[in-house]
Amino acid sequence: MSEAGSPDDFCYRHPDRRSYILCQRCGRTICPECQTQAAVGVHCPECVREARASQPRVKRANPFRRTSGRPVVTLSIIALCALVFVADLVTGGRVNDALLYNPYFYTLSEPWRMLTAAFVHGGFLHVLLNMYSLYIFGSVLEQMLGRGRYLALYLISALGGSVAVLWLSPLTSVVGASGAIFGLFAAFFVIQRRLGVNNPQIVILLVINMAAGFFIPGISWQAHLGGAIVGAVVALIYMATRQPAQRVRQRLLMAGLVVALIAISVVRLFVPVA
C-alpha cells in the first residue's frame, strides 16, 4: 500500500485524478475512465492494446472478397423482372411472346431467348415467389461472392436451365427465373459444404421445390434440374479457384463451362425431336 498523498495514488494517465485501483497486468494506478473490465480485475489501455495485438488472427470463413453495401445486382434483377412483368401486362402479352424460350422454334434463330426467358414470368404469383426467393438467396450470395461472380452464376445457371429444357422437353415454351434461382440454391449448398457447414434446410428446400415440378402442372422441372446442376458446377469452380493468384484460371474455367453449354446445345440441334 502506498502512503497517503503518494503519486502512486493517482492515475498514471491523468495525474489529477486520485484512484486506488491498479491494473491487474502491470500494476499501475488507473482511474475509472481508463479501466477496462477483464476476467479478473481491470486492465489499463496499454495492456488492453498489447493483449489484442498478441491474439492470433482468425481466418475468415468466407474465401471470397465480400461486396459491401446493398445487393445491387439482386435488386436490379428484381427491378428488371418487375418492369418486364408490368410491360407484358400493358402490351397484352407481347413482351412475353418476344422473350420466352421454345427450344424447337428459337434455339437456332433467336438463341438469346435462352437467357431472356429468365426475366419473364407467367403471372403475379409466379413473379412474386421467384423474386422473393431471389432476394433471400441472392442477397446472401452477392455479398459472399462479389457482384461479378454472382451475376455470372445467375446468368450461366439460367443458361443451364434452358439447355436442360432443350434436351429434355424441346417442344415446351418456358418462362421464369426458376432455373437461375435453383442455380443459386445449389451454389449456396456447395459453398457451405466446402466450408464445412452442414445445412439440411437447404437440402430440404431443394428437394421440395424439385419434386413440385413433377407433380404441379406448368412447372418446368427440367429448367430446375439444369439450373441446379450448372449452379453447383459454378460453385465448385469458384471454390477451387478462390485464391487471387487463380483468377485467370477461374475465368478460363467459367468460359469453358459456357462453351460446353453452347456445344451441348448445338449437338442437340442434330438430334431428331421425338
What is the rounded radius of gyration, in angstroms, for the C-alpha atoms of the chain?
Answer: 29
Asked if 226 contacts 192 with a C-beta cutoff of 8 angstroms, the reply is: no
Pick the closest to residue 20 from 12, 32, 33, 29 (CA basis).
29
The C-alpha cell at 243 is 485464391
Is there a catalytic annotation at residue 157? no
DSSP-derived letter for residue 82 is H
- The catalytic position among 19, 178, 220, 265 is 178
- The catalytic position among 19, 157, 224, 265 is 224
H helices present in the chain, as ranges: 45-54, 72-90, 94-99, 103-106, 113-116, 124-145, 147-168, 178-194, 200-215, 221-240, 247-268
Separation in Å, CA 142 to CA 68, 148, 150, 156, 255: 10, 9, 5, 15, 20
Distance CA 184, CA 234 (A): 10
Half-sphere exposure of residue 266, counting CA atoms within 13 Å on the CB side? 6
Pick the closest to residue 80 from 154, 160, 146 (CA basis).
154
Is there a catalytic annotation at residue 224? yes
| CA 99 to chain centroid | 26
Asked if 19 contacts 10 with a C-beta cutoff of 8 angstroms, the reply is: yes
Distance CA 248, CA 225 (A): 29
Q: Which residues are catalytic?
A: 178, 224
